[in-house]
Structure 1
Amino acid sequence: MKPLAVDHDSTGGTMTEDTPSARQDRRDWQALPQRSRPGRPSSLLSIRTPISRGARTTLIVMSFAVPLAAWFIVSAAGVVEPTFLPSPAATWSAGVEMAKSGELFTDMWDTVQRILYGFGLAVLVSVPLGILMGTFSAANSLFGPLISAVRYLPAPAFIPLLIIWVGLDEWTKILLLFIGTVFFNTMMTADVVRSVPMPLINVSYTLGARRGEVLRKVIVPHSLPGIVDAARVNVAAAWNFVVVAELVVSTTGLGRRIVQAQRFLQTDRIFAILILIGVIGVLIDLLLRLLRNQVGRWTG
């Protein structure tokens, strides 16, 4: 290949001459690949893009309809024996039978009461403590290490101690719920409070607000939606612990009813109770979402 001719300019530098050979070399270069203009992606697959109300309703219905249809198909095909997987019709009949006898609503109310007392007590303790830990470094240093260590202890492991300390009454189940949720709710509340923007706090001080006013009028209102979301997460854990407690140390409640059904291989009753627990959980979650939207209208 003929080299490019090089000429010297008046300043002593060099210039590359565009010779015919160089132009020929450039014509031999391959063209850059052409990319087609990307089409507009569907809102269903776009990152954090709102979807239409109709699409949202359809997806919600599908989330329940698809598992229910699979349940119908598997039970109708006889792939699994009815003793182990009852049909939806048998499950519905078992639930209606328990409801007519009144035992289902009695057990449900006993379980819900334990949730209200145990998790309610955990919220009363964890929310103020979490606000203090998220606001003041001294409180975080005082309580944080101990809570971080204790929250890894499995709550069901405390059942033998609780039986020794308080016996087999309602307080055993309530305290188990308290132990299982208070530490996690405290840490999650503290994290929410720490997320309050520091410039917002500094502006409040600049405008003349005192420490107590910043806490009451800035930090707490800003944190309330996140605090409610933390409660939404931990109330589900409370349901897990109450069923465990009723399996071990209770004569009433939905958990106890599951144990009794298991002894007689009444899987249709077990399925009916599990579905009822799921329905109650969804209703509680919806109520907490409404509360979150009310206390955090500014977030929308």
Structure 2
Amino acid sequence: MKPGVTPGSVDEQAAAQRFLEAERASRGSGTATVAAPARPDRTEWPALPVRPRPKPSSSLLSIRKPISHTTRLTLLVLSFVIPLLAWVVLSATQAVPETFLPGPVATFQAGLEMAQDGTLFTDLWDTVQRILYGFGLAVLVSVPIGIVMGTFMAGNALFEPFLSMMRYLPASAFIPLMMIWLGVGEEPKIAVLFLGTVFFNTFMTADVVRSVPRQLINVSYTLGARRNEVLRKVIIPHSVPGIIDAIRVNIAAAWNLVVVAEVVVSTTGLGRRIMQSQRFLETDQIFAILILIGICGVIIDIALRFLRNRIGRWVA
């Protein structure tokens, strides 16, 4: 209320009437006057930082940048040459007594002697057979269960609680029970291998199946595919490379477990041979066996990679 204008005066009523008429006119025309927000002066904006142009970095230090075939081959050779040189230096300087760290030459000679008398390959074949039986059985059981867990929520609710508990139990703790239940033959060693790998391979397979893009499943249903067709033609083919990668990881655990099982309850195998060499401080034989296990692991890994690349070529 302006000074000098009393309530109910003619001027005040006239002002109110003019305000109402202006408001009706603005509504009738469909437009309303809206005050524009205050705009800050552009001169107050901070200046953008001036950065120098980044220098091109080497492909070796670039994130996920492909490297040349020559560079890859060089790094592959260095990954073996550097540890070998360190081993040669430690052996030549006698920094570690030869009783505890035999040299490469002594290790090669010990492995050659075991190969010539046939004990090395006999023990190797016994160990490989146990892995084929124990881990092979684990794959046959874990892959179907993992597919069910990764595909159906009901399957995940049924299997996950029990398997989650079982995977935390160390397989080596079952060796005494397996000896009581199954005796001291091949059965307890195979059972330990099975228990030590089946649960982890199941969960890794389920994770691979869950990673199948939902868009592929929806498109399949849109095109008229049935549930079984989606499972056989979309989910399983897309998951095969990841399942093979899970097998690659868990077969290394199978090699670790078979050595433990052979040390405790076996008269043959590489693990038993390591135990016998330890009793007589024949560390050169132990190193020879360890190198042989590593070579076998590399061969298996390369074979599974080749199989994955050949079978799963359609997966980007």
Counterpart residue type for residue 37 of structure 1:
R
CA distance in 2, matches of 1:36, 1:130: 52
2:270–2:289 Cα contact (<8 Å) kept: yes
Query: Of residues 242, 252, 260 in structure 1, which corresponds to 2:258?
Result: 242
Partner of 1:64: 80
* Structure 2 letter corresponding to 1:182: V
Q: Secondary structure of the residue that 1:299 maps to in structure 2?
A: coil
Which of 98, 102, 108 is matched with 1:86 structurally? Answer: 102
- The question of 1:190 aligning with 2:206 is answered yes
**Cα deviation digits, residues 179-204 of structure 1 (max 9, x gap):** 00000000000000000111110110
| Post-superposition offset of 1:142 | 0.4
For 1:265, give the aligned amino acid: L
- Unpaired stretches in structure 1, ≥5 consecutive residues: 1-10
Q: Deviation digits for residues 230-267 of structure 1, max 9, x if unmatched? A: 00000000000000000000000000000000000000
2:191 maps to 1:175: yes
Corresponding position of 2:239? 223
Q: C-alpha displacement at 1:50, in angstroms?
A: 1.0
CA distance in 2, matches of 1:15, 1:222: 55
| Mapping for residues 112-191 of structure 1, pairs under 5 Å | 112-191=128-207
- How far 1:14 moved relative to its partner? 10
Corresponding letter in the other structure for 1:56:
R
Query: What is the Cα-based RMSD across aligned positions, in Å?
Result: 2.1
Residues of 1 paired with 2:66 and 2:102: CA distance?
A: 39
Deviation at 1:299, TM superposition (A): 2.7
CA distance in 1, matches of 2:299, 2:236: 26
**2:54 maps to 1:38:** yes
Q: Which amino acid aligns with 1:184?
A: F
TM-score by length of 1: 0.89
Query: Quick check: 2:238–2:315 contact (8 Å CA) kept in 1?
Result: no
Residues 1:266 and 2:282 are matched in the alignment: yes
Encode CA deviations 1:123-166: one digit per residue, 9 max, x unaligned.
Answer: 00000010011001101000011001100000000001000000
Cα distance change, pair 39–101 in 1 and its aligned pair in 2 (3 A): same
Aligned length: 279
Assess, with a 3 A threshold, how the Cα gap between structure 1 residues 151 and 14 changes in structure 2: closer, same or farther: closer
1:5 alignment counterpart: none
The DSSP-based 3-state class of the residue aligned with 2:314 is helix
CA distance in 2, matches of 1:14, 1:269: 85
- The answer to whether the Cα contact below 8 Å between 2:262 and 2:270 also exists between their aligned partners in 1 is yes
Higher gyration radius (CA): 2
Q: What's the % identity of the aligned pairs?
A: 69
- TM-score (structure 2 length as normaliser): 0.85
